[in-house]
Each structure stands twice: as structure tokens, then as C-alpha cells.
């Protein structure tokens, strides 16, 4: 099972107002185990960054001037996520920006490339109704160290999201173990001594006397001819 944990940083909040992606990161796990394989890219947005957005991620336009345009990285990005389950915190936000960027290039929506998209914000709200469920709050709740997260960054946030998802779905670990180490069939199971305790019932006097009489009677019978 291949899963990709994805995050983006942008110039602002709304792609329909012309805002663009400036950083994208995707972290791979297979069978719920990190592979240390990831995709990470800064992108030149060809436009100004809103002050509020810059306060969140700290990325400046000057830093992005020599970075590639989205059209230059689109194929590599799509190849990395192809066929995987893509997991995003607040998926409508990131998917909206990705599809805006892909639409500019005449490419299909991101949903056409990956196997499925899972929103961990919705999962967290279902599991923890009425509580704060942003990434920082979930890290605190699950005891995940997010001390490096002084600013939002796509790669670090994708890595933290992978840890949060594993904590949210911890029961699936045992399922994966069962799939990898299939239990032996009933016919092959061996019960060693000491595993089963048997309750012993002692015969009473009447039963003991009946048994002795039965044994005495056996002495009067002839042995078989064979």
C-alpha cells in the first residue's frame, strides 16, 4: 500500500484570485512505513506574495526568483504521486491550488493521477469533534515533537502529517502485521504441554466399585483367537 503525504505553501489563500503554489512536498510510505523517499520543490509564482501568507511560511519572492516555474516541475510531481493514495490535511485547499496550476497547463485534475485523496482534517474532526484539529494541535494531542515547526514549511509539515496520520489510524498497524504474517491454519496448530489446563474429576465410591466389578468380569472371558 503506497501512501503519499502532501503539503503546499502558497502566495495567498485563494487560487481563483490568482494566487499560486510556491512550495510543494510529498513524503512516501509503503505499508505504513517511511521509505525516506520524498519529492520537494520550491516554485517561482511569477507574482507577489501576500504579507499574511509570508508571515506564515517565511518564504520571500527574492528567494524564489531563481526557482523553476510550475510547468517545469509538473511532470516530475505527477509521476511521484501516480497511483498512490494522497493524504492531505485540509485537502480542499491544496487540491484547489494543485488543480488551478494543472488547469493553467491544460492538464487533468490531480484526482485523475492518484488512486484517491484522503483528508486528515475531516478524519480528525470525526475523531475529535469540537476540538482544535490543526496540525500543531494534533501533534500535541498525540505527543509528536513539532518543535522544529517555527514556520510552516511544506516538507516538514508533510513529515509531521505522516506521523499524525499513523497515530490517527493506529489500529491499522495490527491489520498490516496480520497481512504480513498470516496466522497458521487450525490443522497446523500444535498445543504444547502446559498450554491447556484440564479439570480432573475423581470417581466416587460407587463408581469405583462398579469399575472393579467390570474388570473382574473381564477375567472370565476367553482371549480372541488371533
Q: Which of 19, 38, 152, 211 is catalytic?
A: 152
Kindly state the cell numbers that stand for 122: 475531516
152 assigned to active site: yes
CB distance 50 to 71 below 8 Å: no
Distance CA 164, CA 166 (A): 5
Number of Cβ within a 10 Å radius of residue 104: 13
H or E, element range at 167: helix 154-168
Of 130, 131, 153, the closest CA to residue 140 belongs to: 131
Place of cell 516541475: 73
Distance CA 58, CA 199 (A): 72
CA 14 centroid distance within chain: 28
Residue 186 gets which letter from DSSP?
G
Which residues are identified as catalytic? 152
Amino acid at each position: 500500500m503506497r501512501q503519499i503525504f502532501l503539503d503546499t505553501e502558497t502566495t495567498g489563500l485563494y487560487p481563483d484570485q490568482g494566487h499560486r503554489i510556491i512550495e510543494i512536498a510529498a513524503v512516501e510510505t509503503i505499508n505504513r512505513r517511511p521509505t525516506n523517499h520524498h519529492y520537494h520543490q520550491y516554485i517561482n509564482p511569477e507574482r507577489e506574495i501576500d504579507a499574511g501568507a509570508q508571515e506564515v511560511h517565511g518564504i520571500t519572492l527574492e528567494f524564489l526568483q531563481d526557482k523553476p516555474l510550475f510547468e517545469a516541475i509538473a511532470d516530475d510531481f505527477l509521476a511521484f504521486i501516480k497511483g498512490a493514495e494522497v493524504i492531505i490535511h485540509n485537502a480542499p485547499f491544496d487540491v484547489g491550488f494543485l488543480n488551478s496550476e494543472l488547469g493553467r497547463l491544460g492538464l487533468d485534475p490531480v484526482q485523475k493521477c492518484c488512486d484517491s485523496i484522503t483528508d486528515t482534517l475531516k478524519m480528525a474532526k470525526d475523531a475529535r469533534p469540537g476540538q482544535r484539529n490543526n496540525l500543531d494541535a494534533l501533534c500535541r494531542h498525540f505527543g509528536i515533537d513539532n518543535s522544529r515547526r517555527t514556520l510552516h514549511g511544506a516538507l516538514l509539515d508533510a513529515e509531521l502529517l505522516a506521523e499524525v496520520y499513523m497515530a490517527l489510524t493506529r489500529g491499522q498497524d495490527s491489520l498490516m502485521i496480520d497481512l504480513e504474517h498470516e496466522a497458521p491454519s487450525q490443522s497446523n496448530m500444535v498445543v504444547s504441554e502446559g498450554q491447556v489446563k484440564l479439570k480432573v474429576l475423581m470417581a466416587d465410591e460407587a463408581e469405583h466399585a462398579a469399575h472393579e466389578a467390570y474388570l473382574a468380569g473381564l477375567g472370565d472371558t476367553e482371549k480372541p483367537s488371533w
